Amino acid sequence: MAGRPESLAGTCGDSNPDSVCQLFVNTSLYAPIYMDIGPGWEQTFSRGTQWFTFVLSVLMTGWFFYNLYTGHCGWEVIYVTIVEFIKIVVEIFFEYDTPCMVYSVFGPVTPWLRYIEWLLTCPVILIHLSNLTGLDEEYSARTMHLLTADQGTICFGVTAALSPNGWIKILCFVIGLSFGVDTFYTASMVYVEAFHQVPKGLCRRLVKYLASLFFCSWLMFPILFLAGPEGTGFLTWSGSTISHTIADLLSKNIWGLVAHFLQVKIREHIILNGDIRTKVEKTVAGHTFEVEGFRDADDADGGEAEVNKESKLDRRASFQMIAARLQKNGQEVKLTGGEEDDEGKPAVAPEGAPMTPGAAPQIGAFGGMPNGMPSMMPGGGMPMDPQSMQMMQMMQMMQQQQQMQQQQQQQQQGAQSPPSPQGGANMMSPPQQQQQPPPPQQPPPPMGNMMGGMQMPYQQMGGQDMMGGFQAPGMGGQPWMPAAQQMGMGPAGQFGMGPGGGMDASGQMSPGQMSPGQMSPGGPMSPGGPMYGQPQHWGMQ
């Protein structure tokens, strides 16, 4: 069992008894292990590169989160930068402690923390690579190919690092390298197809930058394995840390930043030019493939440009936020939104739009109530039965009739207000009064409460209480009457209350029976009802 590494003072050969260039690991049963960590300046530079990468990773993570909530950002780049700065922090303080560093009694020393980070981040980078535009909704077989090859590379690389010098180490390194070659070949096909898929100009240049950055940075890892302590020992442990930190910075942080910028530019092109695509057949290195690229109306690139009329890209939140930003900057947008959302539901109607009588309000999944709770009407996520629909239409008509009565009262200023019926007067007999021509029907205000989004005027709720001041349109043509005489009075059982239902002298509701609750022929839904100018009762019987 290996103990904690101890610093060996005076091991730098610079006549300084305090300088440390080697670590001593006591293995108790076997010969001790001596690790060359390099001179003092190299150790300082190693820590400097680690802290720089940590700060950059934290800043990039914050910037990616900002883009996620204000426009677009893929989850892959956020995940990679988070793992990167966590790994750097652990490496700074525990680089040579177990299990970050694995000490074998047979001699090899393996930086296990480094391989853990590769296992966590490299597959995610390749997932991002397989969907470079960020527009595909499903992963392809090529994605699985990339992931399988990458896992083979890392697993055999770790095995080679753990193996003592000899043919086993060489064999494992060669097998891992062959998996890496397969990864490079598959990745090259992805870059070639992506080059012809993205719009011309800046987007294609970004694909070239990504390809160059990918192959150059990933090629550093097998070279550093051979040159580092796991291989020939040409580099010290501090030198290996410096080199791998730079390689990780290029292959993960910088590559992810450029890939994110590419996806944003592709979305801006589609929003400004429309979802115009063309199918082009290309042959590269004997490999023939057909790619559907994004173009503008004047650039078909050898194919026939077609507008994708079934495109649903503009329904994505990232497209909507980017389109809003472009419109704010004064740019003309051609892809701004469809009539349905991602689930195929009707789009949210503009706030304050008028509603026609008899039509159910169209609200979004979280509209209707002021606090954002779903309503019970269509568009609010809950179905309605026919009786509820009839009740809803009746309430809409009641609101419209009240508005008409209010306008009539405003035109009759100074005239004597109509008397209210007393006690159990029949609502079927309205008082005689001068008939005024009804004003033009006005659309009701926006709806927005539990009854499917309908928002009744405040005066209908009685002002002070639920019963005392409720002034509704006259039932059966009668202009106005207190709510205490509208509830359950009259032989027809208005509002579903049986004969005799009303209020006694003490202000309490007298007994009344609930009627079956069907719409009568004389109700507001039938010709001749209140909406058609005929005096009829509200026929719940």
CATH number of the domain bearing residue 221:
1.20.1070.10
Distances (CA, A) of 259 to 214, 235, 264: 11, 32, 9
Residues 235 and 146 in one domain: yes
The secondary structure element, H or E, covering residue 307 is strand 306-307
Q: What are phi and psi of 69, to 5 degrees?
A: -95, -10
Report the distance separating Cα 300 and Cα 27, nearest Å: 69
Q: What are the angstrom distances between the C-alpha of 49 and each of 87, 217, 248? A: 13, 16, 11
Find residue 482's DSSP bridge partners.
Answer: 471
Cα distance between residue 362 and residue 380, in whole Å: 8
Do residues 246 and 111 both lie within one domain? Answer: yes
Q: Is residue 107 part of a domain?
A: yes
Q: Which of 244, 273, 302 is the last residue before a domain boundary? A: 273
Q: Are residues 171 and 283 in the same domain?
A: no
318 inside domain: no
- Do 54 and 150 sit in the same domain of this protein? yes
Q: Examine the domain organization and report whether 214 and 227 are in the same domain.
A: yes
Whether the CB-CB separation of 467 and 484 falls below 8 Å is answered with yes
Number of domains in the chain: 2
Q: Which of 260, 291, 310 finishes a domain?
A: 310
Is residue 23 one of the residues assigned to a domain? no
CB distance 105 to 54 below 8 Å: no
Residue 7, C-beta contacts closer than 8 angstroms, at least 6 positions apart = 20, 23, 24
Which residues, other chains included, contact 64 with Cβ-Cβ below 8 Å and sequence gap of 6+? 73, 77, 78, 81, 260
Please check whether residues 147 and 295 belong to one and the same domain: no
User: Coil, helix or strand for 301?
Assistant: coil
Rounded to whole angstroms, the Cα distance separating 477 from 524 reads 11
H-type alpha helices, 95-140? 112-130
Q: Containing H/E element for 439?
A: none
Is 14 inside any structural domain?
no
Alpha-helical segments (H) within 329-437: 386-411
Can you give the residue range of the structural domain that contains 123?
Answer: 40-273
**CA nearest 82: which of 63, 58, 114?**
58
Q: Compute how many other C-beta atoms are within 10 angstroms of the C-beta atom of residue 246.
A: 16
In a structure prediction context, what are the per-residue pLDDT tens digits for the chain, which is 541 residues long? Answer: 566 788 888 888 878 888 888 888 877 767 788 889 999 999 999 999 999 999 999 999 999 999 988 888 889 999 999 999 999 999 999 999 989 999 887 778 999 999 999 999 999 999 999 888 877 777 778 889 999 999 999 999 999 999 988 899 999 999 999 999 999 999 999 999 899 888 888 999 999 999 999 999 999 999 999 999 999 999 999 999 999 999 999 999 999 999 999 999 998 888 888 877 788 787 777 777 777 777 766 665 555 666 665 567 767 787 888 888 888 888 888 765 444 444 334 333 333 344 333 344 443 333 444 444 444 444 444 445 666 677 777 888 888 888 888 878 877 765 554 444 444 444 444 444 445 555 555 555 444 444 444 444 444 444 444 444 444 444 444 444 444 444 444 444 444 444 444 444 444 444 444 444 444 444 444 444 444 444 444 444 3
Residues 294 and 259 both lie in one domain: no
The β-bridge relationship of strands 109-110 and 102-103 is antiparallel
Decide if 237 is inside a domain. Answer: yes
Q: Is 410 contained in some domain?
A: no
* Pair (83, 196) in one structural domain: yes
- The model's pTM is 0.60
Pairing of the two strands 276-284 and 33-36: unpaired
What's the rounded Cα separation, in Å, for the pair 342 and 453?
Answer: 22
Backbone angles phi, psi at 316, to 5 degrees: -75, 145
Domain identity same for 120 and 71: yes
Would 150 be classed as within a structural domain?
Answer: yes
Identify the residue whose tokens are 């590379």. Answer: 153
Close Cβ partners of 310 (under 8 Å, ≥ 6 residues apart): none
208 and 247 both lie in a single domain: yes
- Report if residue 108 sits inside a domain: yes
109 and 211 together in one domain: yes
Domain boundary among 273, 295, 321: 273
- Distance between CA atoms of 147 and 220, rounded to whole angstroms? 19
* Domain co-membership, 192 together with 153: yes
